[in-house]
Structure 1
């Protein structure tokens, strides 16, 4: 079950929609982050992703309104997922069935969030120039600023980044 959660969290982070909550950089390794610090770190990750995509996709001033709608969905999805992961982290004494139900809730929220993200991205992508579409295709295929690294689970090797054409 933990491996499945790690895979879901990785998929969420790689989707570009959100980043997993993490301890702030100033926290010592292994030290738990406080809820406000974790939330601030999570929000910073989402905002970093939004800024990265804005630059990477070369958003024009004419595309800003569509971009803002897309970015707002990213923020909303990130907030939802952050809350669900915090709840999961806080609920340490769950029965197997409750654990599975909680995981199903996270998976459903991810699916719902991706649907909203696609709906917001579609008109933006349609407004892109051919160059921007190529940038978007490569950027989303690679998984973002991580350069396409896809985690293979505990101790697994990472795949090499996809070659840009």
Structure 2
């Protein structure tokens, strides 16, 4: 259960970094990989659109914004591929499971570094009002994670948090 929560938090973190909108409902088990991919891509695009509006991006900031949005898309694609590989792996040995999780964790860290590097020039171009909006938006529960940061004892905070740990399905 704990492993599933960590995996879920990682997936949410990279699929829509910086957004406060809840993740869409999970696709049915019978859904094909292309259909699941389309939903994941739509979720990333929804988060990009949300942030564009929330941060009041101006036409003068579009080039920096587009670079940032492209990193979000690339990070989401990378994490989506890694999680698809993990799902397709089936029954792994403990060491292979740990290695695969280490790869996901490293990809997450690398993606966040790229995201910070892309966000820095955009943030520098912000007006004082936009900086305040960004500071509030990214500091709220769920900020970077997008769907709720993991807190003590695996509980989540934010708008999309379940009412209790019992509401989280493995």
After superposing on structure 2, the runs of 4+ consecutive aligned residues of structure 1 that deviate more than 6 Å are 19-22
Q: Aligned match of 1:106 in 104, 107, 132? A: 104
Contact 1:70 1:120 in 2 (8 A): yes
2:115 partner SS: helix
1:92 aligns with 2:90: yes
Q: How many Å separate the matches in 2 of 1:80 and 1:55?
A: 25
Count of aligned positions = 153
Within 5 Å, which residues of 2 pair with 1:9-158?
A: 9-13=11-15, 15-16=17-18, 23-24=26-27, 27=28, 31-142=29-140, 143=142, 149-150=148-149, 158=156
Mark the runs of 5 or more structure 2 residues left unpaired by the alignment. 160-170
Contact 1:22 1:42 in 2 (8 A): no
Mark the runs of 5 or more structure 1 residues left unpaired by the alignment. none
CA gap 1:37/1:23 in 2 versus in 1, 3 angstroms: farther
**Which residue is equivalent to 1:4?**
6
Q: How many Å separate the matches in 2 of 1:89 and 1:160?
A: 27
Q: How many Å separate the matches in 1 of 2:41 and 2:151?
A: 26
**Residue 33 (structure 1) shift:** 2.4
1:92 partner SS: coil
Q: How many Å separate the matches in 1 of 2:7 and 2:14?
A: 10
2:101 partner SS: helix
TM-score (normalizing by structure 2): 0.77
**What is the RMSD computed on CA atoms of the aligned residues?**
3.0
Q: Aligned match of 1:159 in 153, 157, 160? A: 157
Higher relative CO (Cα under 8 Å, sequence separation at least 6) belongs to 2
TM-score (normalizing by structure 1): 0.79
Contact 2:71 2:118 in 1 (8 A): yes
1:46-83 deviation per Cα after TM superposition (whole angstroms, max 9, x unaligned): 00000000000000000000000000000100100000
1:116 partner SS: helix
